[in-house]
Chain A
Amino acid sequence: MTSRRLLLTLLVVVTGALVLAPIASADLWSPESGGSPNADDIDWLYKFVFAVAIIVFVGVEGVLLYSVFKFKARKGAVAAQIRGNTRLEIGWTVGAAVILVILATLTFVKLDDIRNPPDSGPDGLQLADTSRRLPPNGKSLNICVNGQQYIWRYTYADDCRTGKNLGAPFAYEEMVVPVNTTVTLDIGSQDVAHSWWIPKLGGKFDAIPGYTNHTWFKVPGKFGLKPGGTVFFGQCAELCGRNHANMTARVRAVSVDEYQRWLEQRKTDIKAAEEAAAAERKKLDSSTTQTP
């Protein structure tokens, strides 16, 4: 008896510790959010499912534990020979179905906000009307995300088809974006399957060679207030080889001015690098022709 009590106490303590430890910390109970409206919507949807789940969990586990303790074999106790109850069966089948209908309805209600990007804010980056992408006003900052073992490449172009984005500014690993601006991503891969995921900016989307996947995010203005902006971390979420763990990604959200300065700097840098490379190539060519 005492050993059983000891075990139960141990069980309660361990469960208690496991439940309480996460409470002390920040956001252990739900997905990351805060960087983009779609991430917030997913978080909200998750929390609703979680609330329903807790009710079901407590109810079912409660009845289970109650029956196990209450109906323990005792002297003189006789088991009731019940073989079933059709009404009860129909009741809990319908009950389970109703809960699922509620969850499905709610998902449909939230779906549009999660899937479809909104317009950029009035103080976001002012874009020319060239993008044919998803926001209602047809304007977004489009970035081509290309997964490769084991780094992400970002090309700032409206058309992501190979050959159509030559000369467009690009970056590796860290993506710089303006706040308050709807950013749409065309996600692809050039070797194996990868998965684009910045938890605070919404869900993950697989980068599969031969396919283009789409998602979006829109970072609220407050994240661009301080110089240097705010960095959101993420990493590849689909096994892509030995260094899958090292295929990290960062999104740095900055003010619109800073973004424009960064983009200009980037263009200049790339141009300078290309010129330097061309000069180097020329030197190499001439040196090889001189000494055949």
Chain B
Amino acid sequence: MAATVEAPTTTVAPLPQVVAHRVEPAPTGWTSWVTTTDHKRIGIMYLVLTFGFFILGGVEALLIRLQLAVPNNDLLTPQTYNELFTMHGTTMIFLFVVPVMAGFGNYFVPLMIGARDMAFPKLNALSFWLLAAGGLVFYASIFFSPPECGWTCYSPLSDTDYLPSGGVDAWIFLIHLTGLSSLVGAINFYATIANMRAPGMGWGRLPLFVWAILTYAVLLILALPVIAAAVTLLLTDRHFGTHFYDPTNGGSPLLWQHLFWFFGHPEVYIMVLPGFGIISEVLPVFARKPIFGYKAIAAATLVIAFLGLLVWAHHMFTTPSPSLVLIFFMMSSFLIAVPTGVKIFNWIATLWRGTIEYTTSLLFAVGFIGTFLIGGITGIFVAVFPVDWQLHDTYFIVAHFHYVLMGGAVFAIFAGLYYWFPKMSGRMLGEGLGKTSFWLMLIGFHTTFLVQHSAGMEGMPRRIYEYSDIQDLAILNLISTIGAFILGLGILVTAINVLVSLKKGPIAGPDPWKGNTLEWFTTSPPPVNNFDAVPRIRSVEPMKDIRRQVLAQTGGNVDPSSPTPVEAGRLAAHGGDEH
């Protein structure tokens, strides 16, 4: 359809193809990375750094599981154990899941909207270096005394009376530095998406991943100032004699909990919404079907973000609170299940009557839906506050949020990694290793976390360094520990896959998956300026339009031995030789 509209006269419209002739040779050497403002290089640095932290957080998790493998274990001291779960939680949230989404966003938002870079490239570099500084400050504390108050650092435990060491201060600075990093990045994402979309890309044609990153940015802008204020008050309580959280001097420990969770719950959606976006991109490509209910999914993203700001006190159902407060937060938490359910139904409907290709990326996406669903359902259990009185702060909760964040966000991140790695590196990831990794991770994940629901209901609170051999706790924890190592092995297989494929993976070409969105309309990896010519956008799947136009204009008479126009453009850019 597009071709005829575009070519009303007899002159044939030019074929859309990748032309990248104005490309200067890419700078090399480590200084070029340190000084870069290229969104793609910054994106890759984000991804490498955050995956490094993911491995660190994973090792911490395995140490935790080793300590809990048998009852009354004395492998770790209580102090080391508390430090480990604090490091684990903080690392995974502030140094992995949140910034890894910024990494994907950095690399792909400009490409998907047909822009040549982010709106503020230097601010973008600042975002990355602030994140690196936050990670450095936090991990430097392992040479002194890491924090041991959990990732929530509840006052008064986090006050100097109880934790005088500098670990809590390192944690506060991490919150400030990574918070600034995310805030600067969020403003950059917002400005980029609002102003730099390709001609014709109205809000109704914005890729769903970009919708998710836009919502992620808005939530960060709304939630981060609150935690920044909260930790600043904690800092002045600790060192400058104020008493914001000190009940003996008119302060309130509950104030900390309210401020923390006012940020903390939107943070959950900050972590999973971009994952939802990745799933919404991956499923239609491999089902060879348009996304089902584009508008409903985009709208659900916005509704989840809005409601996500109104549910924070469901983390505080066991605190002294009036019934009306409990009821309000139960109802708002229930409400948020509706748009989340809508998304899940739409994803399944996208698979329905498609022709599904079982790529690793698709497997991770399906694994995500199946696993995240369980996390969503257990979320309903804990939203019913009388039931939460039994489940709160137990291993049931640990299982619940790992189903949401590990089975949800992390599986989505892996789907994104397998989907976009060819674009970022120019080479395909091994599918054999990829599928092995997927099955190990899926089986390992459920073995680790399914039984934790039962452990929690049998009376095992979270954050305890040892437990007695009562009821079934011994066997449940042993199963969980074995599962954790299977899960770790699965992640290791992907790490190996990445390292091997960087050198030896098959050449990907610009569009190995027959993608729908604009990032596939350039070489892999893309040149510094991304696109010389940006095509006009006519739908939410611009690459389908382009392929159709090429087919219409060539009549399908492309000699299979000669490269397709799109392929030819890539060859022109790189002079035919491939790395």
Give A contacts to B, CB under 8 Å.
Answer: 7, 10-11, 14-15, 18, 21-22, 25-32, 39, 41-43, 45-46, 49-50, 53, 56-57, 60-61, 63-65, 67-68, 71-74, 77-85, 88-89, 92-93, 96-97, 100, 103-104, 107-108, 110-111, 114-115, 149, 191-193, 195, 197, 199, 202-206, 208-214, 233-246
Assuming the contacts A71-B355, A73-B356, asked whether A18 and B78 have C-beta atoms less than 8 A apart, the reply is no
Which residue of chain B lies nearest to A47 when distances are taken between CB atoms in the complex? B387
Which residue of chain B lies nearest to A238 when distances are taken between CB atoms in the complex? B393
Within 8 A of A (CB), among B271-316: 287-296
Tell which of A45, A46, A80, A242 touches B353, judged by Cβ atoms closer than 8 Å. A80
Residues of chain B within 8 A of A45, CB atoms compared: 384, 386-387
The 4 closest A-B pairs by CB, nearest first: A203-B389, A210-B247, A245-B464, A31-B390
Assuming the contacts A205-B318, A206-B320, asked whether A107 and B384 have C-beta atoms less than 8 A apart, the reply is yes
**Is B1 part of the contact surface with A, judged by Cβ < 8 Å?**
no
Q: Are A110 and B386 in contact (CB under 8 A)?
A: yes
Taken together as a complex, chains A and B put the C-alpha atoms of A42 and B389 apart, in Å, by: 9
Q: Are B392 and A68 in contact (CB under 8 A)?
A: no
Q: Are B387 and A49 in contact (CB under 8 A)?
A: yes
B258 CB to closest chain A CB (Å) equals 12
Q: Are A49 and B381 in contact (CB under 8 A)?
A: yes
Taken together as a complex, chains A and B put the C-alpha atoms of A204 and B387 apart, in Å, by: 10
A183 CB to closest chain B CB (Å) equals 17
Taken together as a complex, chains A and B put the C-alpha atoms of A93 and B299 apart, in Å, by: 13
Residues of chain A within 8 A of B63, CB atoms compared: none
Q: Are B381 and A92 in contact (CB under 8 A)?
A: no
Residues of chain A within 8 A of B156, CB atoms compared: 191-193, 209
Tell which of A79, A213, A245 touches B287, judged by Cβ atoms closer than 8 Å. A79
Taken together as a complex, chains A and B put the C-alpha atoms of A108 and B248 apart, in Å, by: 36
Taken together as a complex, chains A and B put the C-alpha atoms of A88 and B254 apart, in Å, by: 44
Tell which of A14, A42, A57, A67 touches B374, judged by Cβ atoms closer than 8 Å. A57
**Is B341 part of the contact surface with A, judged by Cβ < 8 Å?**
yes
Q: Are A84 and B295 in contact (CB under 8 A)?
A: yes
Tell which of A50, A71, A97, A203 touches B390, judged by Cβ atoms closer than 8 Å. A203
**Is B323 part of the contact surface with A, judged by Cβ < 8 Å?**
yes
Taken together as a complex, chains A and B put the C-alpha atoms of A107 and B383 apart, in Å, by: 11
A149 CB to closest chain B CB (Å) equals 8
Tell which of B319, B390, B463, B479 touches A244, judged by Cβ atoms closer than 8 Å. B463
Residues of chain B within 8 A of A114, CB atoms compared: 386
Q: Are A195 and B393 in contact (CB under 8 A)?
A: yes
Give B contacts to A, CB under 8 Å.
Answer: 78-79, 82, 148-150, 154, 156-157, 161-162, 247-248, 251-254, 287-296, 318-320, 323, 327, 330-331, 334-335, 337-338, 341-342, 344-346, 348-349, 351-358, 366, 369-370, 373-374, 377-378, 380-381, 384-394, 439, 442-443, 446-447, 450-451, 454, 457-459, 461-467, 470-472, 475, 479
Assuming the contacts A27-B458, A67-B351, A211-B320, asked whether A204 and B447 have C-beta atoms less than 8 A apart, the reply is no
B398 CB to closest chain A CB (Å) equals 12
Residues of chain B within 8 A of A214, CB atoms compared: 320
Which residue of chain A lies nearest to B72 when distances are taken between CB atoms in the complex? A245
Q: Are B393 and A204 in contact (CB under 8 A)?
A: yes
* A-B CB contact pairs (8 Å), 16 listed: A10-B439, A18-B479, A53-B378, A57-B373, A60-B348, A64-B370, A82-B349, A111-B323, A202-B389, A204-B390, A204-B393, A214-B320, A233-B459, A233-B470, A235-B464, A245-B78
Residues of chain B within 8 A of A205, CB atoms compared: 318, 320, 389
Residues of chain A within 8 A of B161, CB atoms compared: 191
Assuming the contacts A199-B390, A210-B252, asked whether A92 and B341 have C-beta atoms less than 8 A apart, the reply is yes
Residues of chain A within 8 A of B391, CB atoms compared: 31
New A-B contacts (7) at CB < 8 Å, excluding given A53-B380, A79-B288: A21-B475, A46-B387, A73-B288, A103-B334, A192-B157, A195-B392, A243-B78
Q: Are B320 and A213 in contact (CB under 8 A)?
A: yes
Q: Are A14 and B447 in contact (CB under 8 A)?
A: yes
Most interface-central of B289, B459, B466 (chain A CB within 10 A)? B459
Q: Are B447 and A203 in contact (CB under 8 A)?
A: no
Residues of chain B within 8 A of A209, CB atoms compared: 156, 247-248, 253
Assuming the contacts A18-B451, A242-B79, asked whether A72 and B358 have C-beta atoms less than 8 A apart, the reply is yes
Q: Are A203 and B386 in contact (CB under 8 A)?
A: yes
Residues of chain B within 8 A of A83, CB atoms compared: 290-294
Residues of chain B within 8 A of A72, CB atoms compared: 355-356, 358
Residues of chain B within 8 A of A237, CB atoms compared: 318, 392-394, 461
Assuming the contacts A209-B253, A245-B467, asked whether A71 and B386 have C-beta atoms less than 8 A apart, the reply is no
Which residue of chain B lies nearest to A110 when distances are taken between CB atoms in the complex? B386
Q: Are B334 and A100 in contact (CB under 8 A)?
A: yes
Q: Are A193 and B390 in contact (CB under 8 A)?
A: no
Which residue of chain B lies nearest to A54 when distances are taken between CB atoms in the complex? B377
A47 CB to closest chain B CB (Å) equals 10
B327 CB to closest chain A CB (Å) equals 8
Q: Are A68 and B390 in contact (CB under 8 A)?
A: no
B325 CB to closest chain A CB (Å) equals 13
B456 CB to closest chain A CB (Å) equals 9
Residues of chain A within 8 A of B337, CB atoms compared: 96, 100
Q: Are A11 and B443 in contact (CB under 8 A)?
A: yes
Q: Are A25 and B472 in contact (CB under 8 A)?
A: yes
Which residue of chain B lies nearest to A188 when distances are taken between CB atoms in the complex? B320
Taken together as a complex, chains A and B put the C-alpha atoms of A84 and B338 apart, in Å, by: 18
B452 CB to closest chain A CB (Å) equals 11
Q: Are B342 and A93 in contact (CB under 8 A)?
A: yes
Q: Are B457 and A41 in contact (CB under 8 A)?
A: no
